Amino acid sequence: MTPGINTAKRAKVSHHIHEYQHDPNSESYGEEAAEKLGVPAQQVFKTLVVTLDGKELVVAVLPVSAMLSMKLVAKAASGKKAAMADRKDVEKATGYVLGGVSPLGQKKRLRTVIDASARSFPTIYVSAGRRGLEIELAPDDLLALTGGQYAPLQQE
């Protein structure tokens, strides 16, 4: 069990846990998850943490097949500038290691923006809080559990 899975269970949200053997040599955790689970990469979402205006950490959830637009995530979070957050800051705030950061059950609840493309799927896959462990749930349930918002986040 991870804090992410416990969050979904406590909220009685319909979800499925998918586990696979993580390859430590894999270059992309998200693409590895899509491949090993046999799911389109557009349906597997990665959790990235950015620093907004140099002071606030914000979570961006987007397909593993996409690149995050710093301009779009800053705009969605009502900021001027976003940059990838420092690894130590991410791990300290979320309680997860990089490659296993879940948008659910973070130590410190961070503002969350979910790419609008999530709404085109009945369910999406996000990290359950450990490399090799994914949680599948409805996008609107993820939105409710994170208190997040939908916005376009993908770089053109």
Instruction: Tell me the pTM.
Output: 0.96
The pLDDT of residue 7 is: 96
**139-146 and 3-10 are packed helices; what angle lies between their axes, rounded to 10 degrees?**
100
Return the structure tokens found at 30.
Answer: 């998200």
The residue ranges of every structural domain in the chain are 3-151
CB–CB of 124/136 below 8 Å? yes
Q: What is the token pair recorded at 31?
A: 């693409």
What CA–CA distance (Å, rounded) separates 46 from 140? 16
pLDDT per residue of the chain (156 residues) written in tens, 0 to 9: 899 999 999 999 999 999 999 888 888 888 899 999 999 999 999 999 999 999 999 999 999 999 999 999 999 999 999 999 999 999 999 999 988 999 999 999 999 999 999 999 999 999 999 999 999 999 999 999 999 999 999 998
CATH number of 3-151: 3.90.960.10
